[in-house]
Amino acid sequence: MAWMILIVAGLSEVVMVTFMKLSDGYKKLIPSFISFIAGALSFYLLSLSLIHIPVSTGYGIWTGIGSAGAVLIGMLFFEEEKSPARIFFISIIIISMIGLKAAS
């Protein structure tokens, strides 16, 4: 169950960053509010998952989900560059997260 909580925490991090972008520097109320709530949820769920998962593993996977997710959202919805190098390095992040889980 702790791993599912950690994954949802990471996805909440992606939601936070996405709505942070949509908030236009926190000038738009609704995206700002969603960003704040998603961020708070992300940190709360991370703290719950770390009760049962080592902090080094949990934090690494949480930041990996957030980083890879933000890059993918940027490429899919915000017209950011989709170069082979970016895709390669996102793949390395994902492979690293799988490795951390396997080593736990």
Mean pLDDT by 10 residues, the chain (104 residues): 97 98 97 98 98 96 96 96 95 93 88
Q: Residue 44: what pLDDT?
A: 98
Q: Are 31 and 19 in contact (CB under 8 A)?
A: yes
- Kindly provide the b/e burial profile for residues 58-85, where b requires at least 16 CB atoms within 10 angstroms of the residue's own CB: bbbbbebbbbbbbbbbbbeeeeeeeeee
Q: Residue 104: what pLDDT?
A: 81
Report helix, strand or coil for 26.
coil
Q: Residue 54: what pLDDT?
A: 95
pTM of the prediction? 0.91
